[in-house]
Amino acid sequence: MAGANLQLRHAYSIAQFVPTVSSTPPPQRVRIGISPSRVLFCNLRATSAAAATLRTTRRSVTVAASSVSSAVDSSPSSDSLVEERDDTGRIPLLEVKDLRAVIVESRQEILKGVNLVVYEGEIHAVMGKNGSGKSTFSKVLVGHPDYEVTGGSIVFKGQNLLDMEPEERSLAGLFMSFQSPVEIPGVSNMDFLNMAFNARKRKLGQPELDPIQFYSHLVSKLEVVNMKTDFLNRNVNEGFSGGERKRNEILQLAVLGAELAILDEIDSGLDVDALQDVAKAVNGLLTPKNSVLMITHYQRLLDYIKPTLIHIMENGRIIKTGDNSLAKLLEKEGYKAISG
Ligand SMILES: Nc1ncnc2c1ncn2[C@@H]1O[C@H](COP(=O)(O)OP(=O)(O)OP(=O)(O)O)[C@@H](O)[C@H]1O
171 contacts 40 by C-beta, under 8 angstroms = yes
What per-residue confidence (pLDDT) applies to 150?
98
Q: Which atom of ligand 1 is nearest to the CA of 129?
A: 25
Mutate to test the pocket of ligand 1, among 104, 110, 112, 264 (most ligand atoms within 8 A of CB): 110
User: Which residue's CA is the nearest one to ligand 1's atom 28?
Assistant: 131
What per-residue confidence (pLDDT) applies to 161?
96
Q: Cα–Cα distance between 97 and 113 in angstroms, integer?
A: 7
User: Which residue's CA is the nearest one to ligand 1's atom 31?
Assistant: 131
- Establish whether residue 133 lines the binding site of ligand 1, counting it when its CB lies within 6 angstroms of any ligand atom: yes
Does the pTM surpass 0.80? The reply is no
Q: Cα–Cα distance between 55 and 146 in angstroms, integer?
A: 8
β-strand partners of 8 = 32
Helices (H), the chain: 48-53, 80-83, 134-142, 166-171, 189-203, 211-225, 230-233, 242-256, 272-285, 299-304, 324-333, 336-339
Q: Mapping DSSP to helix (H, G, I), strand (E, B) and coil, where does residue 101 land?
A: strand
What per-residue confidence (pLDDT) applies to 4?
29
- Among the listed ranges 22-36, 139-153, 193-207, which one has the minimum average pLDDT value? 22-36
Greatest Cα pair distance, the chain, in angstroms, is 59
What per-residue confidence (pLDDT) applies to 82?
54
What per-residue confidence (pLDDT) applies to 81?
53
Q: Mapping DSSP to helix (H, G, I), strand (E, B) and coil, where does residue 127 land?
A: strand
